[in-house]
Amino acid sequence: MSTHAFQAPKGTRDFYPSDLAVRRHIEHAWRSASIDCGFDEVEGPAFEHLELYTAKSGEGIVNELFSFRRAGGENDYALRPEFTPTLARMVAARAGALPVPVKWFAIPNMFRAERPQRGRLREFVQWNIDTLGVEGAATDIDVIACAILALERLGLTPLDVQVRLSHRVAIGRLLSALGVSEEKSADAMTLLDRRDKLKPDEFATRAQALGLSAEGVASFDLAARATQPLADEISALATKIGIPVEALAALDEVRAAATRAGILEWCTVDIGIVRGLAYYTGTVFEIHEISGAERAVAGGGRYDGLVELFGGPKMAACGFGMGDVVLANVLRDRKLLPDDGAALLPRPDAFVISAGSEAAEAELPRLMMALRRAGFHARSSSKVTRNVGKLLGDAGKARARFAVILGAELTEGQIALKNLDSGSHSGSQTLVALAELTEHLRVKA
Amino acid sequence: MSTHAFQAPKGTRDFYPSDLAVRRHIEHAWRSASIDCGFDEVEGPAFEHLELYTAKSGEGIVNELFSFRRAGGENDYALRPEFTPTLARMVAARAGALPVPVKWFAIPNMFRAERPQRGRLREFVQWNIDTLGVEGAATDIDVIACAILALERLGLTPLDVQVRLSHRVAIGRLLSALGVSEEKSADAMTLLDRRDKLKPDEFATRAQALGLSAEGVASFDLAARATQPLADEISALATKIGIPVEALAALDEVRAAATRAGILEWCTVDIGIVRGLAYYTGTVFEIHEISGAERAVAGGGRYDGLVELFGGPKMAACGFGMGDVVLANVLRDRKLLPDDGAALLPRPDAFVISAGSEAAEAELPRLMMALRRAGFHARSSSKVTRNVGKLLGDAGKARARFAVILGAELTEGQIALKNLDSGSHSGSQTLVALAELTEHLRVKA
């Protein structure tokens, strides 16, 4: 076996306990925010029929996918690069039977066969939030507010990240004013979104073909750079951005809803957020670290036609995806993650120490199982030493709340209980009846 | 797009909210038992270098794997069919730096390119528990006790499932007594384990080649069928099973450890549990539904040489895997899962109802976000109706603990709070100050 097989494949990660503790910390914020906002969790297969992705994104996506066939099988499969097609397929399959609105969240692992780089891996975890079956800015803001709730729980503020909002209709009107015909509007948005991946010449040629001159692109860029707080009046916004006030009308309702929900200070108007995928139809947004130094933390918007594309009815929809990789970079940069992820691991309730007598040695395994059956996180040492001082040190290193010492008093049915959170003074150690240990652990939790 | 792309690939599952609630219920029992027993969670990539699997199991495993290559890439990858190679690779990579014992758990999704059948899918979830770096029966039992703890939390008893225990040394001695030389012992165990997959002729021919005559196989079967409670004395066990008492000596320590941990009634001696994989070295076990009607719920054992095979040091190890599919079948059969998984979904703390006034409509989105920011699971209706009676019905259907009604009293800063758990009598509805709502929800939680 070559030695590379001993390593995780390029662009994937091994999560040792302290690494996984960080990921679980992030996932816990995602999950608790989702549940509190009334979303139900769903999950689908880690791979789908390849056609599920080519249908929406064209054959061009194949090179970005890990695709395969079962030996002797006939179907082409691909590891999921995103969750939306699975979600649309699942909603379409039961559209008539699902209670409306459908409010779903998912935290699946995803795969992209691209070159790994900062913020972009070949396997990652992505939080998905989607509301289907209801139109309107209040729903867009309900979805965005859920993202903000999770970010708040992770310690972020509007001074750290901002939701950059735009609207497909507003971008369309701006492009129209710059010479792009309505039927070429979606293509122009896709082109503008993919700009960083193209050579300047190629971009200019393609832009020209869509009716966008060099001056038109420059005007678009001026508008895109003129980001403004959503809190500003729409007429003032239009003036500052340099586009007709009517073009921003669609964002007026979004602003009103954001105001009612109390998340206005998290929101910036950024007409340059176009979101390349052709299926977006209304509000679009990305969440960015405020300096713009990192890739987008999240991206999403309204996609009212997608479920129909997967064989379902026409259905309003709005959602976003937030990956774990960029978010962890932002949190680390803001000192919102501990240097050692082990600090986020669950703390033991009890670290049980045998002082070495025959009775203690016999009692230890029974007590361990009894504590665990009572719902306590109980650990002990596998060391041969019965030096209580040393083992107390190990209990501290394990971050246990209590040390439980099986000493001489065991013959009278008593054990020593030491509260490791109250410092090292002797007063914190008390003798308690073995039969009452779980009560002591419970009360002091 | 052909219609099959609208369906989950064969052998994989779509988890709608009520389906995922069942899976999360099982995973919660796994995770909480793991943590209480002192295991730390780890995770690895969903795919590995193909060689990681062929190294341990030979080229024959390739047909059971989903394997692939990135377009333009050079490496062969495979979706993980089990977690042990990833675990062994991770331990080997940091063997010197990890605190001993290494006690790890994982709940990864796994993939097998086999024909789907009852209890066996192409994608499933498997709980893995492993302790590395310590020898001895007490560790074997510590691992097994963790499985039992999870099963207890799911409502199972020793009358529902049993841990069927054997020992590689005991099986070796039995095979030796039946004519199998020591160097052919491991092959004979693999053959016996794979018996169901072979035609009788083929099995007989292969058995003969390993020194196992038809009579030898019959004797082995007799011993394998003579399952006995581990609680029995070893000499009585040996007599009943029909093998020399020395052959069972290895199980004597296991029995003593099971007795000390208080899990003896969960354990059966079953010399027929051989576990096909060549890497097992000591205690081996499977957990089975007591009638034997289903596939194994879990399987594992001691595998002291495996980490070395992946480039690490020689390291004692014991672990098991438990899949979600067979376990869910057993739980369903025992009526330990609700008919509708939705009963396992998280309950809303508050269902907020606007009675329709302008003030109520303006307050609703503010209050929703305020409740969520305070950590409550809050829902409301997206219906146009402001019929409080109808909306209270929806609150009940949503299984909310409280209904919060924004009515006429809102002008005085008050809202009506209705405890939906205390029945429908009028006394359960009280007026409380809006500013004190979160306190009321907290106290009554």
> Which of B284, B276, B330, B250 has its CA nearest to residue B143?
B284
A443 pLDDT above the threshold of 90: no
Smallest Cβ–Cβ distance between A4 and the set B33, B49, B139 belongs to B49
Residues from chain B contacting residue A43 (CB–CB below 8 Å): 15, 20, 23
CATH of A13-333, one of 3.30.420.270, 3.40.50.12160, 3.40.50.10490, 3.30.930.10: 3.30.930.10
CA-angle at A187, arms to A183 and A192, nearest 5°: 135
Which chain B residue is nearest to residue A29, measuring alpha carbons? B375
* ipTM for the assembly: 0.95
> Chain A: residue nearest B362 by CA?
A260
Nearest-neighbour CA in chain B from A178: distance (Å):
36
Please tell me the predicted confidence (pLDDT) of residue B425: 54
In CATH, what is the architecture of A346-443?
3-Layer(aba) Sandwich (3.40)
Structure tokens at A112: 């992209």
Give the dihedral sign, CA B165/B168/B173/B179.
positive
Distance CA A330, CA A161 (A): 9
Which parts of chain B have pLDDT scores under 50? none
Q: How far apart are CA B378 and CA B403, in angstroms?
A: 10
Of residues A9 and B60, more confidence is placed in A9
Strands B317-323 and A283-289: unpaired
Half-sphere exposure of A419 (CA within 13 A, CB side): 15
Query: Which residues partner with B299 through β-bridges?
Result: B286, B321
Contacts of B61 in chain A (CB under 8 A): none
CA B316 to chain A, closest CA, distance in angstroms equals: 13
B72: chain A residues, CB-CB within 8 Å: 63
**Is A354 in contact with A361 (CB distance < 8 Å)?**
yes
Q: Are A252 and A263 in contact (CB under 8 A)?
A: no
Chain B nearest-CA distance from A242, in A, is 32
Q: What is the SS3 assignment for chain A?
A: CCHHHHCCCCCCCCECHHHHHHHHHHHHHHHHHHHHCCCEECECCCEEEHHHHHHHHCHHHHHHCCEECCCCCCCCEEECCCCHHHHHHHHHHCCCCCCCCEEEEECCEEECCCCCECCECCEEEEEEEEEECCCCHHHHHHHHHHHHHHHHHCCCCCCCEEEEEEEHHHHHHHHHHCCCCHHHHHHHHHHHHCHHHCCHHHHHHHHHHCCCCHHHHHHHHHHHHCCEECCCCHHHHHHHHCCCHHHHHHHHHHHHHHHHHCCHHHEEECCCCCCCCCCCCCEEEEEEECCCCCCCCEEEEECCCHHHHCCCCCCCEEEEEEEHHHHHHHHHHCCCCCCCHHHHCCCCCEEEEECCCHHHHHHHHHHHHHHHHCCCCEEECCCCCCCHHHHHHHHHHCCCCEEEEECHHHHHCEEEEEECCCCCCHHHEEEEEHHHHHHHHHHCC
First to last CA, chain B: 50
Chain A nearest C-alpha distance from B88 (Å) = 9
Mutation target vs A (from B12, B37, B68, B253; most A CBs, 10 A cutoff) = B68
- Kindly indicate the confidence band of residue A424, based on its pLDDT and cuts at 50, 70 and 90: low
| Chain A hits for B262, Cβ within 8 Å | 366, 369-370
Q: The whole model's pTM is what?
A: 0.95
Give the residue range(s) of CATH 3.40.50.800 domains in chain B.
Answer: 346-443
Which helix (H) or strand (E) segment holds residue B229: the answer is strand B228-229
Best mutation site among A66, A265, A401 for testing chain B: the one with the most B CBs within 10 Å?
A66
Nearest CB to B382; choose among A71, A101, A310: A101
pLDDT digits (tens, 9 = 90+) for B297-347: 999 999 998 899 888 999 999 999 999 999 999 999 999 999 999 999 999
pLDDT (average), residues A202-223: 89
Residue intervals in chain A for CATH 3.30.930.10: 13-333
Chains A, B: CB contacts within 8 A come to 249
Q: Which residues of A touch B2 (CB under 8 A)?
A: 51
Report d(CA A11, CA A173) in Å as an integer.
Answer: 40
C-alpha–C-alpha distance, residues A283 and A137, integer Å: 8
CATH 3.30.930.10 placement within chain B: 11-333
Please give the pLDDT value at position A290: 95
Q: Taking a C-beta distance cutoff of 8 angstroms, is the pair B380, B326 a contact?
A: no
Interface test with A, best of B2, B23, B40 (most A CBs within 10 A): B40
Coil, strand or helix at A199: coil
| Cβ count within 10 A of residue B201 | 8
Contact yes or no for B1 and A348 at CB 8 A: no
pLDDT at A237: 86
Q: How many CB atoms lie within 10 A of CB B258?
A: 27
Q: Do B23 and A43 touch (CB under 8 A)?
A: yes
pLDDT of A293 reads 85
Handedness of CA A272, A276, A282, A288 (dihedral sign): negative
Q: Please give the structure tokens belonging to residue A414.
A: 């008593």
Which residues does chain B have within 8 Å of residue A4's beta carbon, measured at their own beta carbons?
Answer: 49, 75
Place of tokens 């122009």: A188
Q: What is the pLDDT of residue B352?
A: 98
CA distance B282 to chain A (A): 20
Of B14, B71, B138, the CB nearest to A63: B71
**Mutate which: A125, A141, A369, A377, vs B, most B CBs within 10 A:** A369
Picking from B304, B237, B307, the residue whose alpha carbon sits closest to that of residue B267 is B237
pLDDT at position B3: 64
**pLDDT (0 to 100) of residue A90:** 96
Residue A97 pLDDT class (50, 70, 90 cuts): very high
Weakest-pLDDT range from A242-246, A428-432, B95-99: A242-246
B11-333 fold: BirA Bifunctional Protein; domain 2 (3.30.930)
Say if residues A360 and A185 touch (Cβ distance below 8 Å): no
Cα gap B249→B255, rounded to integer Å? 10
Half-sphere exposure of B243 (CA within 13 A, CB side): 33
What distance in Å separates the CA atoms of residue B377 and residue B348, rounded to the nearest whole number?
5
Give helix A168-177 / helix A214-225 axis angle, nearest 10°.
Answer: 140
Is the model more confident about B230 or about A274? B230
Of all residues in chain B, the one with the smallest CA distance to A53 is: B5
Closest B-chain CA to A151: B373
The first and second tokens of residue A216, run together, are 């038109």
Residues 6 or more apart from A203 whose CB is under 8 A from it? A191, A195
**A257, closest residue in chain B (CA to CA):** B365
pLDDT higher than threshold 70 for residue A2: no
In this prediction, residues A277-291 reach a mean pLDDT of: 90
Instruction: Find out whether A261 and B365 touch, Cβ atoms under 8 Å.
Output: yes
**Residue A61 to residue B105: CA distance in whole angstroms:** 36
Which chain A residue is nearest to residue B55, measuring alpha carbons? A1
Pairing relation of β-strands B161-167 and B267-269? parallel
Mean pLDDT value across chain A: 92
Q: List pLDDT tens digits, range A383-407.
A: 889 999 999 999 999 999 999 999 9
Which residues, other chains included, contact A372 with Cβ-Cβ below 8 Å and sequence gap of 6+? A378, B33, B36, B37, B145, B149
Please tell me which of the candidates B67, B365, B378 has its beta carbon nearest to residue A68.
B67
Of the given ranges (A268-272, A326-330, A349-353), which has the lowest mean pLDDT? A268-272
What would the pLDDT profile of A135-185 be if each residue is shown by its tens digit?
Answer: 999 999 999 999 999 999 999 999 999 999 999 988 888 898 888 998 998
> Under DSSP, is residue B81 helix (H, G, I), strand (E, B) or coil?
coil
Per the CB < 8 Å rule, is B372 touching A16? Answer: no
- What integer pLDDT is reported at residue B345 of this predicted model? 97
- Residues in chain B with CB shorter than 8 Å from the CB of A368 are 261
Binned at pLDDT 50, 70 and 90, residue A238 comes out as confident
One-letter amino acid for residue A124 of the chain: F
Contact A51 B5 (CB under 8 A): yes
Helix or strand run (H / E) with residue B171: helix B168-177
In the three-class reduction of DSSP (H, G, I as helix; E, B as strand; rest coil), residue B418 is classed as strand
Give the span between the Cα atoms of A359 and A408, in whole angstroms: 9
Which residues from A are below 8 Å from B3, CB to CB? 311
Confidence of residue A3 (pLDDT cuts 50, 70, 90): low
